[in-house]
Structure 1
Amino acid sequence: MTMQVDEVLSEETNSLKDQRQDVIKSTVGDFGRWQLKISVLMALVKFPIAWFQMSIVFLAPPITFWCKKSTNWSDDSQLGSCLVNNSKCDQFTYDNSSMFTTTIITEWDLVCDKEKLVDVSQVSLMFGVLLGNIIFGILADKKGRKTILILCLLMQSMFGVLAAFSPFFWLFCALRFMLALANGGTMVTSFVICMEVVGGKWRTIVPILYQIPFGFGYSLLSFFAYFIREWRCLHLTLSVLSMTYLALYWFIPESPRWLLAVGKHQEALIILENATRDTKTECDINLIMTNLSNTASTSSGKRSLKMLFSREELRSRSLLLSATWFIAGVTFYAFIQHVGHIGHNLFLTVAVGGFVSLPGTLLCVLIINKFSRRQTICSSCLVTALSSLLILGFPKGEYHLDWPRLLLSGAGIIGLSISIPAMYLFTGELYPTIFRNSGVGLAMMFSRLGSMVAPLLISLQTAYEILPLTVIGVLAFLQAVLVLVLPEMHGTEDF
């Protein structure tokens, strides 16, 4: 059954391989100085991606509040109470001295019956990221990778600045939604550019290392928040820093693979000639022109998401991957956001949580080729599941700096930083070449849907404190089980 898809599509795939010759490989190789420069620059784009997606941790942190004293009441209300003498409280006082001067909670009184609006703001942001993945992914195929990336970076910064000055909560949500659309576009286009300039074994290594700056960006966010305790200034700072990425316009080329695919051979030729000078290799113009001519006769045809469900084996893989990526989206964003509630020192917890993703990502590179894809992903999911559940055995505040909870949180993040990059690679391998873009796009869509559920899962702690980590642990275990059902692709040829 596993090889059924290969047999059905082998004739078309072999025909495409016979017709197409990798122009980039024949001119600048699989990986060199040119590819390294572009890969590093694209990976650095993950910094603002992390800042905007995870900033809610510092824009709306846990805060102590109580009802303001009124002439109608004889005493102040109890700490955190929404009722005083059976009357609804509509004015609040906040503890602005211990952590933050202002937050979106203190700005718009997002407590008591308005508490859920914090989750609404983050759900709307994640929905914007989902739509941005789709909309700008399509536009990047039509208008070019570089053009859309620069547009998204501009929009991301512009709407970020506007959100920092928003006088109303719903306007803030609307501006953050527009920011998220661009953020989603930044994610997909930077990843595609990164992937389209490398070849060979580097198509396994680069997509994993590409994820590293996200964790560092999360830690850096904690650094900014430590020194900038006013939410508007923090959001404005992040947006202005994001604006500096517009300089990428002068440092990265358009994707040669995209130019070849749309028939812009002369533009691709200029970029490849520049690349060979950067790598100090000789450029055989005749060879390039021959390859361009060969490429011009190749067409993969139009594919749609419907094709992913057209055959039994493809349908089975697509359904399993959709469920697995939905769970991955829930567990990753829920666990990362819940890190802010793990210990009493929010800044330390977030900073450590971001930095420990580095060893996890490096471990992923080391073990992904030594062990099966399923073993790698399954074991890392089990680490996250076990860490989530063990944290519940150590009450907050019982140990100095909550070190057991912090240590287990680090282990959980290491598990996530192994499983997520490995899932990207595994997903691409599970689809034939002619269906790969559609298949990965479908998986990412379900991942974003999961990320929208994450804030709602975190909010369950108001009802019962152990619920979020319990659900995360169960879901991570379920993800491990689902991965074992999928066929192993390690050591198989790309089809």
Structure 2
Amino acid sequence: MDIDEAYQVVGEFGSFQKRSVAVLVLCQVYMACQSMLIVLVGAVPEYRIDQSYDSLGGHQDLSQSITFTEDIKSIVTEWYLVKHQAYKVSLAGSLFFAGVLIGNVVFGPLSDQIGRRPVFLIGLFFEVLFGYATALAPNYEVFAASRLLVGLMNGGIGLVSFVLTQEYVGKAYWAMTGTLTNMVFAVGIALFALLGYYIRAWRDLASASNSMGLLFFLLCVNLPESPRWLYSQGHTEKAEEVLSYMAKRNGVTVTNLTLKRVGVSKPGHRGNGVLQLAMHPVLRWRTVVLMYVWYACSLVYYGLTLGASQTSGSRYVNVAMYGLVELPAYPMCIYFMNKHWAGRRKTMTSFLCLAGLACFCNVIIPDNSGVLLSPTSLALLGKLLVSAAFNIVYIYTSELYPTVIRNAALGVCSMSCRVGGILAPFVPSMRAVHSSLPFTVFCLSGLSAGCLGLLLPETLNKPAAETLDDLYPDHSRTLERQVLLYEEEEQESNQKQDQ
């Protein structure tokens, strides 16, 4: 039997998979806290600067000239990151996403080569370690460096954990597990806002947010390797052992679980996964299109979220709202993605275009147009729609690539996604040039990515590719028939010789 048939025997989403996926999905709360940390620990309170500072042309020591009038303890108040030092707050946010970019590039291909489980556990351990370095940073330079390292680990394990939630279950449940992953990330943003409301000191907030990572590391230690990865690498016996273990934990009795010794990568296909994406004729164009779609999703998603603390009202309520507003998007995703008249491609492009239009309305509609058409409401609508598109693009991308290079492909696409994340902290600050400029950027990004996404193929109800050869099913069947004919001819020749 092949790997998909084996999942149907042991259980596509049994009790063991439910527990394993639950741990990986809940880990997104920790990852969301790390991603959004700069929003609250870098909060800029109201302040007053002595007139003597301006009269001296800004040459006086800023710490002696500034008075913070709001009771907030952040990196801004500790290291006086205002005026000519204000860029350091956005820089710290960008360094985090630069680390995420590097993590995507490094961890994706690495997990395709040595396995999902070891890469995930090592990355999670070091993220927790560097997270405590953030909380104990004696100066801004150490803080910024630790955010870069935390981002590196966060990007790597985020990618691998998402793939594990897909590969632990049958393909029929990929949309559900992928959606749950992104949904819990949104809940994590809201929980981080709640945590920040009760823990105002930024060092205590960083420590509390990071401590949950240690708990998740202990819960993930006993997770097995992905059977799909083992099978795709030719480790069929190990894949059978993991599947038998799953069956036992699911309460299913399996007497003879034997996987086919076919469908693994050929020796020439075991090279660099990233290189295969550039060389393979089918995957090359998919990767180019998806890289831009991921970039646009990230730019709009994080641009709107990181700008939450700059809007009017309580920064904690705003951050929580920008997290909770995503939740209605995920049931919509599951509904539309599994409809034959919508599927993955049409649903993703529709949400992207609608997110762009919501941002366009924010540009053209006056600020005094009422509650429903206020800038905040339109921004929240844009966040909801781009969250739906972002959720789909994760699932859609994993279905467009074979198992042997799935993590490498997700890593490359996530790399371009993190370019958007690096630029996102600076987009809200473009209000200083013109108030409509940030939403103009979001509008053009969403519309262009939505239109470009129409060039991709549909994957709904299509079998999951395990190897590069599976991208040419007709060609593979032709080769199989040729092999069978050759074997039959060889048998007939041997029989004639024996006679």
1:326 Cα deviation from its structure 2 partner: 1.7
Q: Does 1:245 align with 2:202?
A: no
Q: Secondary structure at the match of 1:66?
A: strand
How do 1:449-468 and structure 2 match up within 5 A?
A: 449-468=419-438
Give, in whole Å, the separation in 2 of the partners of 1:314 and 1:266. 30
Match of 1:12 in 2: none
Give, in whole Å, the separation in 2 of the partners of 1:455 and 1:24. 46
Match of 1:299 in 2: 265
Question: Cα gap change, 1:356/1:205 in structure 2, threshold over 3 Å: closer, same or farther?
Answer: same
Tell me, yes or no, if the aligned pair for 2:112 and 2:405 is still in contact at 8 Å: no
Cα deviations by residue, 1:385-424 (Å, 9 ceiling, x for unpaired): 232233354549x978x99344323322220221012112
Give, in whole Å, the separation in 1 of the partners of 2:294 and 2:220. 33
**TM-score w.r.t. structure 2 length?**
0.83
Greater shift in the superposed pair: 131-140 or 47-56: 131-140
Q: Does 1:355 align with 2:357?
A: no
| 1:427 maps to amino acid | T
Q: Does 1:95 align with 2:68?
A: yes
Q: Does 1:407 align with 2:389?
A: no
1:148 Cα deviation from its structure 2 partner: 2.5
Match of 1:441 in 2: 411
Give, in whole Å, the separation in 2 of the partners of 1:164 and 1:90. 26
> Percent identity over the alignment?
26
How do 1:394-433 and structure 2 match up within 5 A?
A: 395=367, 404-431=374-401
Tell me, yes or no, if the aligned pair for 1:260 and 1:296 is still in contact at 8 Å: no
Gapped regions of structure 2 (runs ≥ 5): 465-470, 472-499
1:251 Cα deviation from its structure 2 partner: 4.8
Match of 1:189 in 2: 160
Question: Cα gap change, 1:136/1:485 in structure 2, threshold over 3 Å: closer, same or farther?
Answer: closer
Tell me, yes or no, if the aligned pair for 1:360 and 1:415 is still in contact at 8 Å: yes
Match of 2:46 in 1: 64
Cα deviations by residue, 1:275-328 (Å, 9 ceiling, x for unpaired): 2232211121xx22x32xx34783343153333343655433322222222222
Give, in whole Å, the separation in 1 of the partners of 2:373 and 2:445. 25
Q: Does 1:332 align with 2:301?
A: yes
Q: Secondary structure at the match of 2:374?
A: helix
1:262 Cα deviation from its structure 2 partner: 5.2
Question: Cα gap change, 1:209/1:336 in structure 2, threshold over 3 Å: closer, same or farther?
Answer: same
Give, in whole Å, the separation in 2 of the partners of 1:225 and 1:265. 48
Question: Cα gap change, 1:22/1:386 in structure 2, threshold over 3 Å: closer, same or farther?
Answer: closer
Give, in whole Å, the separation in 2 of the partners of 1:425 and 1:272. 23
Tell me, yes or no, if the aligned pair for 2:68 and 2:77 is still in contact at 8 Å: no
Gapped regions of structure 1 (runs ≥ 5): 1-18, 78-82
1:129 Cα deviation from its structure 2 partner: 1.0
Give, in whole Å, the separation in 1 of the partners of 2:219 and 2:99. 24
Cα deviations by residue, 1:175-206 (Å, 9 ceiling, x for unpaired): 12111122122202211211111113212332
Aligned CA RMSD, in angstroms, stands at 2.8
Q: Does 1:388 align with 2:359?
A: yes
Give, in whole Å, the separation in 2 of the partners of 1:490 and 1:258. 22
How do 1:145-156 and structure 2 match up within 5 A?
A: 145-156=116-127
Give, in whole Å, the separation in 2 of the partners of 1:158 and 1:21. 37
Match of 1:214 in 2: 185
How do 1:85-164 and structure 2 match up within 5 A?
A: 86-91=57-62, 92-97=65-70, 100-164=71-135
| 1:339 maps to amino acid | A
1:37 Cα deviation from its structure 2 partner: 1.5
Question: Cα gap change, 1:268/1:94 in structure 2, threshold over 3 Å: closer, same or farther?
Answer: farther
Question: Cα gap change, 1:481/1:138 in structure 2, threshold over 3 Å: closer, same or farther?
Answer: closer
Give, in whole Å, the separation in 1 of the partners of 2:176 and 2:58. 60
Give, in whole Å, the separation in 1 of the partners of 2:6 and 2:461. 24
Aligned pairs, number: 457
Match of 1:3 in 2: none
Question: Cα gap change, 1:385/1:21 in structure 2, threshold over 3 Å: closer, same or farther?
Answer: closer
Question: Cα gap change, 1:442/1:162 in structure 2, threshold over 3 Å: closer, same or farther?
Answer: closer
Match of 2:288 in 1: 319
- 2:196 is matched with which residue: 225, 237, 247? 225
Tell me, yes or no, if the aligned pair for 1:382 and 1:477 is still in contact at 8 Å: yes
Give, in whole Å, the separation in 2 of the partners of 1:102 and 1:278. 48
Q: Secondary structure at the match of 1:383?
A: helix
| 2:419 maps to amino acid | L
Match of 1:308 in 2: 277
Give, in whole Å, the separation in 1 of the partners of 2:276 and 2:161. 26
Q: Secondary structure at the match of 1:465?
A: coil
Give, in whole Å, the separation in 2 of the partners of 1:356 and 1:406. 12
| 2:330 maps to amino acid | T
| 2:293 maps to amino acid | T
Q: Secondary structure at the match of 1:357?
A: coil
Cα deviations by residue, 1:84-117 (Å, 9 ceiling, x for unpaired): 36454532424353xx521111211211211211
- 2:310 is matched with which residue: 341, 365, 373? 341
Q: Does 1:279 align with 2:250?
A: yes
Match of 1:364 in 2: 333
Question: Cα gap change, 1:96/1:152 in structure 2, threshold over 3 Å: closer, same or farther?
Answer: farther
Cα deviations by residue, 1:433-452 (Å, 9 ceiling, x for unpaired): 66544433321211112211
Tell me, yes or no, if the aligned pair for 1:308 and 1:315 is still in contact at 8 Å: yes
Give, in whole Å, the separation in 1 of the partners of 2:122 and 2:386. 31
Question: Cα gap change, 1:250/1:124 in structure 2, threshold over 3 Å: closer, same or farther?
Answer: closer
Give, in whole Å, the separation in 1 of the partners of 2:57 and 2:235. 72
Tell me, yes or no, if the aligned pair for 1:339 and 1:409 is still in contact at 8 Å: no
Question: Cα gap change, 1:316/1:252 in structure 2, threshold over 3 Å: closer, same or farther?
Answer: closer
Give, in whole Å, the separation in 2 of the partners of 1:394 and 1:202. 44
1:22 Cα deviation from its structure 2 partner: 4.1
- 1:50 is matched with which residue: 9, 26, 32? 32
**TM-score w.r.t. structure 1 length?**
0.84
- 1:480 is matched with which residue: 428, 450, 454? 450
1:220 Cα deviation from its structure 2 partner: 0.5
Cα deviations by residue, 1:51-106 (Å, 9 ceiling, x for unpaired): 1111111111233222236xxx4xxx7xxxxx336454532424353xx5211112
How do 1:254-273 and structure 2 match up within 5 A?
A: 254-261=225-232, 268-273=239-244
Question: Cα gap change, 1:250/1:327 in structure 2, threshold over 3 Å: closer, same or farther?
Answer: closer
Give, in whole Å, the separation in 1 of the partners of 2:150 and 2:144. 10
1:483 Cα deviation from its structure 2 partner: 1.6
Tell me, yes or no, if the aligned pair for 1:59 and 1:231 is still in contact at 8 Å: yes
| 2:279 maps to amino acid | S
Tell me, yes or no, if the aligned pair for 2:23 and 2:220 is still in contact at 8 Å: no
